[in-house]
Amino acid sequence: MGGSDNLPVGPGIAGFIAVFLLALALWFLLRNMNARLRRMAYRERDRVEHERQEHQKQAQPDGFTSGEGRDAPTEPHSPINGPVDGSSPDGRGPAPRA
């Protein structure tokens, strides 16, 4: 009972393999998440571009390329809340939230 056998105790090869597999799984998860976030950003950019093009088509139904010669305003406005794009009615920045 009084032996002083100092045996090295450590995780060994099983611990190394476990940590390696966890690191590998984390790498694959982060790679997948990055790809999904990138795809989501591209979709959002495409959606905004499509909405902008649709807005231009609706704002220029008579074929004019500039705002000259038309009586209608170039920016859409809501009769209650002001501009639809979120800017303030006077055009000096974002509208305050209610």
Tens digit of each residue's pLDDT (9 = 90 or more) over 23-40: 999 999 999 999 999 999
Q: How many structural domains compose the chain?
A: 1
Mean pLDDT within 56-70:
64
DSSP secondary structure code for residue 39 in this structure:
H
| pLDDT for 86 beyond 90 | no
78 forms beta bridges with 82
| Residue 80 forms part of a structural domain | no
Q: Tell me the three state secondary structure of residue 77.
A: strand
Q: Which two tokens stand for residue 85?
A: 């794009």
Amino acid at 88: S
66-85 burial string, b = 16+ CB within 10 Å, else e? Answer: eeeeeeeeeeeeeeeeebee
Pick the range with the lowest mean pLDDT from 6-10, 25-29, 83-87: 83-87
| Residue 30 forms part of a structural domain | yes
Instruction: Report angle CA 79, 48, 89 to the nearest 5 degrees.
Output: 25
Domain span including residue 36: 25-58
| Residue 36 forms part of a structural domain | yes
| Residue 40 forms part of a structural domain | yes
Give the E-state strand segments of the chain in sequence order. 77-78, 82-83
Q: What is the CA radius of gyration of the chain?
A: 31
